[in-house]
Structure 1
């Protein structure tokens, strides 16, 4: 069956390749030739462009519309100049506007691209895959991003030091940029030849125009840049920056009687250092000592009843910058050999002591130091090396006699990640590799942790026919070592479940002290040219693959085949600006050969002429088997499922815009269902202030939600029940910008999820076609609830004795997190943060409504507060 599906996918790709429309003609590359500033000439960055020194180079213009009317003359013309001296690149831009009073000047914080703006993109590596982006709005708001993957990834965490100013006059608006060569990366040559693109947003018409013309269906972004020449004898500038910081922090919280660890407040003073050292102009060493991330937003609320770990995005600046170099997404979803949230994670140990009266358990592991060596050479080598050490973490314990002690809950741990890629075939292809290592200094009480874990991988991508077609793939391997307890726990974890009672290809071996696994992906597709896009491939994860020490792996033991095709409608009509429709299909198997899942999905998107939009989709899942639902029990069959979704929204340019969405999923026999209601809105009543709200309400009933496992007369009982789960969360953000460098931001999110269980049952035939054959409901005579313990007592054989108990699974989880941050960049690269954070986590009454629990547990509870003052100063040496 698997071989047949692979043949079908390959045949689909070949047939679409043959019958798709003919490839478009390549657009000739434009060239801008700059000149050096005359000796002694200076340019003041004030946005006026009135200095005589600008006359050394001529104006360049003739921009072309990219979106929506690709290839046409723009509504408003644009022209620019570029010059340079020994240390800086200077760019001047004139954005003409026939109605200057209507230029949109929305204030925002850095990297928020609102209103009219101009963007400069430079590919100083000239590798046609990576670039540096510098953006300034008509209001003077600065933005900068590192571009990778030929435009598929834009990293806004890159914050170089550069200078810009804008001015509005009777002709429109002007912008000046002064970019230090130390912030760009290039090799030593007599003449630098760089990729160049300028991109203007004309806000009123929502029109994008480019200096280098580019088709909407192009296979990438950086590869389509024009050429910048005339940069002679520039000496590479080695970057050397040191940024010390100091932090004052006060925590307040409800005090607990007699608990010395919760007396109502804590104060700490802390300091650390970040540094950026240019080893060469191409390669940079980043260092951090005792980093502090107190100004970073809290994670959103989440709860997972399926037992799997929850993936949270990285928010810490040190790990975000140059993240693209270290990424190794080898499969689908969030599976990655490097997941930086493992570094500084919550301690995994715990205190087991009946005499322990009070325990102060640390929330996160302390990062003693980290170093990151990264960059790309002129010969096409992309290099990354990250080393980090987290310290021993201790829980403080006070026993009933008043004696205090410390107990280790997280050991000294070393993390190492190495990444390399090499371009070849005129930058159209690359090969690469990655290696990771995690080593822990384990004492006896933490022997349940793995002592060491290693992973590695090889990847490649080959593009041809002007990058329109590609073949990419990777191979990964892992090897973990530890005590017999640690490796047994790994085998039994939900990622692996070697104890599955009906699995012939895996079993738990309690004598093992290591596991070795593999995984990978192979994909073929069309990425650009014409109106068709398609791909197909296969992914696998072997049963023993384990990456969760410094990577992220949700589930092993899977083989997945997939294929997709999309039709793009890129030429505007009187009805829409752009649209697309697509079909996707995938099937999954495990390594025993079980055919577990098949899914067919349709998706469509349309952006109307008035810039409103609609997105819709539907899917059919005729076969859904799972190896994980019963947590080590037999393979489980869900009833077949159909789902659909519909989202639509208004013009995002408007000062008030919104999105409404609805998701509906229904399984046969009412096995389970999902209804999700989504509302999002953004409101900017005046240029300096913006407010956004994102709310979701979800109902997720399920007649066979897993509860627990028991034993009856030597037979395993896998117990499920009908759950009525309801979840509500709202994320609120506002931003008030006094000027482009001084802003106040607020983030707050209440989250509540409530689940009540009824109709308890046990599994008798987990793969039966009909739901009533899969489970057997307990009768009223078999199940009762204890008034003393609250547990459910099961008398399955009705002999008057309790055969087993089920703990009451009802829950109501409530969480609130908020940050109020004042950020002032008082000089480029140096900042002051004033932060007030609030939070509360609790458990409500499952019998109450969501609204009442929200009121009691969030509005009616005293909250934990953190007040923080952080100051940094960036020395450029």
Structure 2
């Protein structure tokens, strides 16, 4: 029988209820037998364990049973310390199983098996543990609100083996890696996941319907866990790092650092994480760009402490953790200099408490303290110096209460507070956040109300609020909403917000297919419209009507297309950089076309291609750009990704200065940007990896004409202004690292880094010249660092022979 006929029959059966029924239940059992994680399943306990089988496809053919040749059988047993999982994954072509080696937490192109556990069975959060066919571990904390958080890490064991019938996985997941109640009889949410990459097929044990946006509510049930005690969750991670730094302008010097991370389970629900003497010297570099806008550049958070387990702290979108220990800034007079300007404000320590109890109450507390930072400012005319405080001792705090109910809804109270020592600015922001869903997950109402208080020379209060309503189930979906922001709303001390004093309205509608057809595996057509209006003047500061199409072909190549239009002129109240809120710039109508193509990454050679073009309703104003990124996987150990990005803005108009008479000076300029990046990896095995990341960024803006901004938002030519306000930013970053997970949770990492950053007004327009300047050893700074982190489990330490030697009775010696 043809394959698609089988699929059709199965789908009919699903709708008649013969396959789709109640949630599946798996009964586990206790064992006191020692289970060795070797992928052999030769302990007696496995023979009598109940089997979870009859997996069902998630995608592309949602609801179709797994074929017999891909049969998947899973067993679960438990001890007083951990949950054990044994999975047998059949495959008629064992040699075709995808098993690319990567660093930890990278799915790459390998086949995967995973277990998803919810100790409270509340449909809200899951701890997900995946293992690739190459033995690479991926652990994920999942919530309905934020999706999968891959930055969350736990300590657990796994072993895989390729066999003549497919492959097998054995796991040991300690209770310390999970959260569950203290009830004598436990009922957990449970699901198993399998992905077969060469077929681009995903399966789960309990069916996940793709017309419902909620996943964890569709998990099965695990029963049988009884009379277990939650172990003491105390982990100590001491670390030591050595840095050797060198550059042309400073002597080579070494620096030794050390510190301690602590993780402690306060009870079955809440965990304390603390870092003493933080060290983030090996975090990923920032992709700095030439920023000519009125707003700061927003950077991704790369410090593990501020990325792991932060779902609660993201409620209300009030937290931008890069504020903690951020790069300082200071305005100097033309005759003032600073010899040593710090790159960041030093973080003294930080802690967070987070978790959710069996009643669905989530509590989050984040606190961090940064030290006072001062610099010596020298007057070059008089040679006099003064001590200037860049930042006082500062305390950053976030507090969150999040109550879940009905397994898919929540109401949250959030507060962020920044307190600075002495007569410096303090800030406080509070928010009420709600996310309400119908029991069938068909409709959603969400929104928030935020109130900010600033204590400074002038105390100000402001507020921001939004509400939206969405249809979240089925082929046809839609949403409508609105936002209001007052003039004095300000959350920028611990958050990030660019626009104030406006109100907006927006709506969207979309159509998607839920089953593949002859052409597409997935297909989504969307329409989005929005309008943003300044509160003071009633003028429109933004308006958009966008149409987008996103598809995956039968061969899983990605195609995307979008038309983004600005059908009316807008009034920009920020680009003028004026204290006067009524000052604005008029920008014309525009239309942008975007195309995206990404070939299936399962192929050895794959390509990303993304051209864009924008037409503005002014003479000769055309912007265009392209991204080309080929990637090649030589084998399961080695791969390279190269990316070239080019963009050009013709006759771009932007602010450059204020003249002596107080006029606002703009320039008509051409801006060109080149970005070249190279990423490579070589994985010796699942625990040992080499990684290379190289980025060269060059962007420049040449001012052709200078303009004076008028009160009506238009410009007149300025023939008198003759300052050179051209801009050229040329940056280079290279990171080459070696990482070895030599024991569970313990890592040695070696990083060599060199970098340069050159800004100038006078420069060559030749790419070769700028590239040579960027990599010239006269401009480069170099750093070699070695870091060792060692994971210590209090329970293992307590039960060790070393510990017992101090607790057993000593023999009494008589003289």
Instruction: Call closer, same or farther: CA 1:819–1:847 in 2, change over 3 Å.
Output: closer
Query: Are 2:482 and 2:503, in contact at CA under 8 Å, matched by a contact in 1?
Result: yes
Give me the whole-angstrom Cα distance separating, in 1, the residues matched to 2:115 and 2:554.
28
Shift of 1:396: 5.3
2:481 to 509, 532, 537: 537
Give me the whole-angstrom Cα distance separating, in 2, the residues matched to 1:856 and 1:580.
45
Q: Secondary structure at the match of 2:230?
A: coil
Instruction: Call closer, same or farther: CA 1:533–1:850 in 2, change over 3 Å.
Output: farther
Give me the whole-angstrom Cα distance separating, in 1, the residues matched to 2:628 and 2:725.
30
Give me the whole-angstrom Cα distance separating, in 2, the residues matched to 1:470 and 1:144.
29
Give me the whole-angstrom Cα distance separating, in 2, the residues matched to 1:71 and 1:703.
52
What is aligned with 1:654? 603
Shift of 1:711: 5.9
Shift of 1:242: 0.8
1:643 to 592, 615, 627: 592
What is aligned with 1:479? 453
Q: Secondary structure at the match of 2:395?
A: strand
Instruction: Call closer, same or farther: CA 1:631–1:198 in 2, change over 3 Å.
Output: same
Shift of 1:268: 1.1
- Alignment of 1:556 onto 2:500: yes
Q: Secondary structure at the match of 2:663?
A: strand
Give me the whole-angstrom Cα distance separating, in 2, the residues matched to 1:649 and 1:317.
30
Shift of 1:402: 10
What is aligned with 1:6? none
Give me the whole-angstrom Cα distance separating, in 2, the residues matched to 1:268 and 1:29.
61
Give me the whole-angstrom Cα distance separating, in 2, the residues matched to 1:689 and 1:204.
19
Give me the whole-angstrom Cα distance separating, in 2, the residues matched to 1:299 and 1:102.
39
Shift of 1:194: 1.3
Instruction: Call closer, same or farther: CA 1:184–1:727 in 2, change over 3 Å.
Output: same
Query: Are 1:121 and 1:197, in contact at CA under 8 Å, matched by a contact in 2?
Result: yes
How do residues 767-806 of structure 1 correspond to structure 2 at under 5 angstroms?
767=713, 774-778=714-718, 783=719, 794=720, 805-806=721-722
What is aligned with 2:149? 155
- Alignment of 1:106 onto 2:100: yes
- Alignment of 1:364 onto 2:344: yes
What is aligned with 1:743? 689
1:417 to 387, 392, 398: 398
What is aligned with 2:420? 440
Give me the whole-angstrom Cα distance separating, in 1, the residues matched to 2:761 and 2:584.
34
1:608 to 538, 553, 570: 553
1:215 to 188, 199, 209: 209
Q: Secondary structure at the match of 1:154?
A: strand
Deviates more, 1:387-396 or 1:305-314: 387-396
What is aligned with 1:686? 635
Q: Which runs of 5+ in 2 are unaligned?
A: 1-14, 795-815
- Alignment of 1:136 onto 2:140: no
2:229 to 235, 238, 243: 235
Deviates more, 1:278-287 or 1:47-56: 47-56
Query: Are 1:100 and 1:172, in contact at CA under 8 Å, matched by a contact in 2?
Result: yes
Give me the whole-angstrom Cα distance separating, in 1, the residues matched to 2:393 and 2:431.
26
Query: Are 1:351 and 1:395, in contact at CA under 8 Å, matched by a contact in 2?
Result: no
Shift of 1:861: 4.3
Displaced runs of 4 or more, over 6 A: 23-26, 350-353, 397-405
Query: Are 1:348 and 1:410, in contact at CA under 8 Å, matched by a contact in 2?
Result: no
- Alignment of 1:572 onto 2:552: no
Q: Secondary structure at the match of 2:339?
A: strand
Deviates more, 1:67-76 or 1:530-539: 67-76
Q: Secondary structure at the match of 1:700?
A: strand
- Alignment of 1:145 onto 2:140: yes
Q: Secondary structure at the match of 1:327?
A: helix
Q: Secondary structure at the match of 2:104?
A: coil
Residues 423-444 of structure 1: per-residue CA shift (max 9 Å, x gap): 12x223211111111011146x
Give me the whole-angstrom Cα distance separating, in 2, the residues matched to 1:197 and 1:355.
64
What is aligned with 1:49? 41
Query: Are 2:585 and 2:709, in contact at CA under 8 Å, matched by a contact in 1?
Result: no
Give me the whole-angstrom Cα distance separating, in 2, the residues matched to 1:132 and 1:544.
41
What is aligned with 2:66? 74
Q: Secondary structure at the match of 1:555?
A: coil
Shift of 1:79: 1.1
Give me the whole-angstrom Cα distance separating, in 2, the residues matched to 1:850 and 1:291.
42
How do residues 664-743 of structure 1 correspond to structure 2 at under 5 angstroms?
664-670=613-619, 672-710=621-659, 717-743=663-689
Give me the whole-angstrom Cα distance separating, in 2, the residues matched to 1:547 and 1:295.
29
Shift of 1:670: 3.1
- Alignment of 1:307 onto 2:294: yes
Residues 683-712 of structure 1: per-residue CA shift (max 9 Å, x gap): 210111122222210001235322223365
Give me the whole-angstrom Cα distance separating, in 2, the residues matched to 1:232 and 1:86.
10
- Alignment of 1:589 onto 2:533: yes
The Cα RMSD (Å) is 2.2
Q: Work out the number of aligned pairs and report it.
A: 769
Give me the whole-angstrom Cα distance separating, in 2, the residues matched to 1:202 and 1:84.
28
- Alignment of 1:62 onto 2:54: yes
2:175 to 168, 181, 198: 181
What is aligned with 2:798? none
Give me the whole-angstrom Cα distance separating, in 2, the residues matched to 1:704 and 1:403.
41
Query: Are 1:351 and 1:409, in contact at CA under 8 Å, matched by a contact in 2?
Result: no
Q: Secondary structure at the match of 2:47?
A: helix
TM-score, normalised to structure 2's length? 0.91
Give me the whole-angstrom Cα distance separating, in 1, the residues matched to 2:694 and 2:245.
18
Q: Secondary structure at the match of 1:545?
A: coil
Shift of 1:806: 4.6
Query: Are 1:671 and 1:704, in contact at CA under 8 Å, matched by a contact in 2?
Result: no
What is aligned with 1:815? 731
Shift of 1:600: 0.6
Residues 584-633 of structure 1: per-residue CA shift (max 9 Å, x gap): 00001111232333211100011111111210000221222211122226
Query: Are 2:606 and 2:631, in contact at CA under 8 Å, matched by a contact in 1?
Result: yes
What is aligned with 1:121? 116
What is aligned with 2:803? none
What is aligned with 1:872? 789
- Alignment of 1:285 onto 2:272: yes
Query: Are 1:27 and 1:214, in contact at CA under 8 Å, matched by a contact in 2?
Result: no
Query: Are 1:29 and 1:227, in contact at CA under 8 Å, matched by a contact in 2?
Result: no
Query: Are 1:35 and 1:56, in contact at CA under 8 Å, matched by a contact in 2?
Result: no
Give me the whole-angstrom Cα distance separating, in 2, the residues matched to 1:32 and 1:242.
37
Give me the whole-angstrom Cα distance separating, in 2, the residues matched to 1:829 and 1:248.
20
What is aligned with 1:37? 30
Shift of 1:399: 8.5
What is aligned with 1:13? none
Deviates more, 1:592-601 or 1:515-524: 592-601
Q: Secondary structure at the match of 2:52?
A: coil
Query: Are 2:31 and 2:78, in contact at CA under 8 Å, matched by a contact in 1?
Result: no
Shift of 1:312: 0.8
Q: Secondary structure at the match of 1:126?
A: coil
Shift of 1:59: 2.0
1:452 to 414, 426, 443: 426
Give me the whole-angstrom Cα distance separating, in 2, the residues matched to 1:577 and 1:287.
45
- Alignment of 1:830 onto 2:750: no
What is aligned with 1:3? none
- Alignment of 1:382 onto 2:299: no
